[in-house]
């Protein structure tokens, strides 16, 4: 196999590959920087994608607003973080808190709500997990996580989670009394345009309250991974069968001139066939 292909989806996290001492960096947001981030990220999406479709927003609205919310999603490519930001900011009207392993290379992302995680050793990684629990006290924000821990190929199965999400959920439920936990399916499809579309679906909220018995984090991680996998697979099956029920559109670009011309020709052909039928 080509050596470059082997590097596409390494099972070793980037911070371990770089093997450098990297300090923890918390999120540092402000109204000014959030507007800059929104303008930049939304512009990138509009520039590269034909449309942004979403479904299941009512599941977010049904959550108990008195308690913190965690979104968890698959991680297949570079766009996932920007899509997560758009979901939280544009759809949910909340600030995002996003754990980013590459943050030390792009520290400005802290201004948009990112905070770092260094998986070089367990102690530094634990600092990020504890910080994740603390930021949940701000109900004006949503913690958006990629529990797989690394980027995997699209449709990679089975979806496997590390135990970080289970740790955060357990500690948050103990600290705040309850936590809202919503899976997010994210897919990128080519439909009938030369640019792909973003399709997201919010799954049903899974509330977690403090348990009398200690949680088995490995088993709970498997349970959550299965829920996300089922949601992603169902979404892909629906779209493959042209079942678009329940989807709304955040944005959709205008057709390119040649596509508009194509649509015009189709209308002419339809009118001609109708006339021939009437005759």
Residues 19-57 have pLDDT tens digits of 777 788 999 999 999 999 999 999 999 999 999 999 999
Question: What are the structure tokens assigned to 71, written together?
Answer: 């979104």
Which of 175, 194, 172, 29 is CA-nearest to residue 98?
A: 29
Q: Is 250 a member of any domain?
A: yes
Asked if residue 262 is part of any domain, the answer here is no
In this structure, the number of other CB atoms found within 10 A of the CB of residue 216 comes to 12
Instruction: Tell me how far the alpha carbon of residue 139 is from its chain's centroid.
Output: 19
Domain membership of residue 56 as a residue range: 3-254
**Tokens of residue 126, six digits:** 């634990």
The mean pLDDT value for 118-143 works out to 92
Give the tens place of pLDDT for each residue, 108-122: 899 999 999 988 877
Residue 153 is assigned to a structural domain of this protein: yes
Which pLDDT score is estimated for 257? 59
Give the model confidence (pLDDT) of 254-265 as tens digits.
866 566 666 666
- DSSP strands (E only) in 36-179: 51-55, 69-72, 95-100, 114-116, 141-145
87 occurs within a structural domain: yes
In a domain, 263, yes or no: no
Helices 164-176 and 122-135 sit at what angle, rounded to 10 degrees?
40
Confirm whether 265 is domain-assigned: no
Number of domains in the chain: 1
Retrieve residue 99's tokens: 């754990």
Strands (DSSP E) found in 1-145:
51-55, 69-72, 95-100, 114-116, 141-145
Q: The domain that contains 185 carries what CATH number?
A: 3.40.1130
pLDDT tens per residue, range 154-212: 999 999 999 999 999 999 999 999 999 999 999 999 998 889 999 999 999 999 988 75
pLDDT over 80 (residue 278): no
The label of the residue with tokens 């069968």 reads 241
What phi and psi values does residue 15 have, to the nearest 5 degrees? -65, -30
């Amino acid at each position: 196999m080509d050596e470059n292909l082997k590097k596409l989806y390494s099972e070793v996290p980037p911070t371990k590959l770089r093997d450098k001492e990297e300090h923890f960096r918390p999120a540092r947001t402000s109204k000014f920087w959030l507007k800059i981030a929104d303008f930049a990220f939304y512009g990138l999406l509009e520039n590269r994608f034909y449309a942004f479709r979403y479904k299941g927003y009512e599941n977010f609205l049904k959550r108990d607003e008195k308690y913190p919310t965690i979104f968890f999603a698959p991680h297949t490519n570079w766009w996932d973080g920007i899509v997560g930001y758009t979901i939280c900011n544009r759809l949910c009207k909340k600030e995002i808190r996003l754990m980013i392993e590459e943050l030390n290379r792009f520290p400005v992302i802290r201004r948009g709500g990112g905070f770092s995680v260094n998986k070089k050793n367990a102690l530094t990684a634990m600092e990020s997990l504890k910080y994740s629990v603390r930021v949940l006290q701000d109900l004006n924000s949503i913690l958006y996580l990629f529990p797989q821990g690394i980027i995997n190929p699209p449709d990679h199965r089975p979806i496997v989670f590390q135990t970080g999400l289970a740790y955060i959920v357990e500690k948050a439920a103990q600290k705040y009394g309850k936590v809202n936990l919503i899976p997010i399916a994210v897919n990128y499809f080519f439909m009938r345009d030369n640019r792909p579309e973003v399709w997201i679906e919010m799954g049903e909220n899974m509330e977690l309250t403090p348990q009398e018995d200690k949680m088995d984090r490995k088993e709970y991680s498997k349970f959550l991974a299965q829920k996300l996998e089922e949601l992603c697979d169902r979404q892909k099956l629906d779209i493959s069968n042209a079942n678009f029920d329940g989807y709304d559109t955040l944005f959709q670009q205008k057709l390119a001139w040649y596509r508009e011309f194509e649509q015009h020709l189709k209308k002419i052909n339809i009118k001609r066939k109708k006339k021939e039928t009437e005759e």
